[in-house]
A = this chain, B = another copy of it.
Amino acid sequence: MSALIAVDWGTTSLRAARLGAQGQVEEERSSPQGILAVAAGGFPAALDALCDGWHQDKTLTLMSGMVGSRQGWVEAPYCACPAGFDDVARQLVWLRPGQLAIVPGLSCEHDGVPDVMRGEEVQVFGALRLLGLQDATVVLPGTHSKWVTVRGSRIEGFTTFMTGEFYALLRRQSILSRTLPPDDGPLDASAFDQGVAHALTGHSLLGTAFSVRTLSLFERIAAESLPSYLSGLVIGEELRAQPAFPAAVVVIGSPDLAGRYQRALAPQGVTTHAVGHEATWQGLWALSKTLG
């Protein structure tokens, strides 16, 4: 029998892993049944369907991500920063006592404006354990990128950047989309670097984004390189928005996306450590070990 069923339930996808007694991944499954694709009341059935045959009734199941949001299965109130691993473990929301729980997200506040995350906190705690770190700046690229500050194993605060979403909007919905090819194609590293550099010398993506149009209009960049250039522009803008660069950051994400951040950060003198999505399973595994 497995020791834990770990579930990462986001807005547009549902992933689950069956972990063995040492925390090793024995099987992974995923489905497009993100919370937006599940009707109210349909969450238990969607989970059962994905975990079919995993003896879910006999195995602890921990879920993180948007499943704990207002649009999810049950709303799990945010845990306020600074927050450590133990604070999160204490505020699990139990759906079936001792058997099925949702991990709460975190909230913090800067200058009177709140910020929130759901799911990334588990990845951060998992990555810190994998790397044996207590202090770090952790970057989680994605639709809504997070820059997280960890001191003494506690998440002190974080900032969200809508980088992936801005890329998708500019790529597919804006006037710039007219000059871009239908598919992104492989990364053109030189065009990506050019985009990062232009963003870093600019003052705002509102202005630098227009260069996608003008560089194309004056035939200074090939159409097939424009998606890479635009990717560099938005990631470069996320870097430009940092008040200062730490000496090192941990980047959690898919190899392609984490690689782009590593490429953009290197010329800024920032050392990077990349961790994949195994951070989620590691974080949920560590949480399970704190329970009776």
A residues contacting B by CB (< 8 A) are 70, 111, 113-116, 144, 159-163, 165-166, 169-170, 173-175, 198, 201-207, 209-211, 214-215, 217-218, 220, 234, 237-238, 240-243
Residues of B within 8 A of A241 (CB): 202-204, 206-207
A215 and B163 contact, Cβ closer than 8 Å, known pairs A204-B241, A207-B241, A237-B206? no
Question: Quick one: copies of this chain in the complex?
Answer: 2
- Are A116 and B162 neighbours in the complex by a CB distance under 8 Å? no
A214 and B169 contact, Cβ closer than 8 Å, known pairs A203-B243, A204-B240, A207-B159? no
A210 and B160 contact, Cβ closer than 8 Å, known pairs A174-B165, A204-B205? yes
Residues of B within 8 A of A116 (CB): 214, 217
Can you list 27 A-B contacts (CB < 8 A)? A113-B198, A114-B214, A114-B215, A114-B217, A114-B218, A116-B214, A116-B217, A160-B207, A161-B204, A161-B207, A161-B210, A162-B175, A162-B206, A162-B207, A162-B210, A166-B206, A169-B169, A169-B173, A169-B174, A202-B241, A203-B240, A203-B242, A203-B243, A204-B238, A204-B241, A205-B206, A206-B234
Closest to A201 in B: B111
Q: Is the interface of A mostly helix, strand, loop or mixed?
A: mixed
Closest to A159 in B: B207
Report Cα–Cα, A210/B114, bound state, in Å.
9
- Are A165 and B175 neighbours in the complex by a CB distance under 8 Å? yes
Report Cα–Cα, A243/B201, bound state, in Å.
12
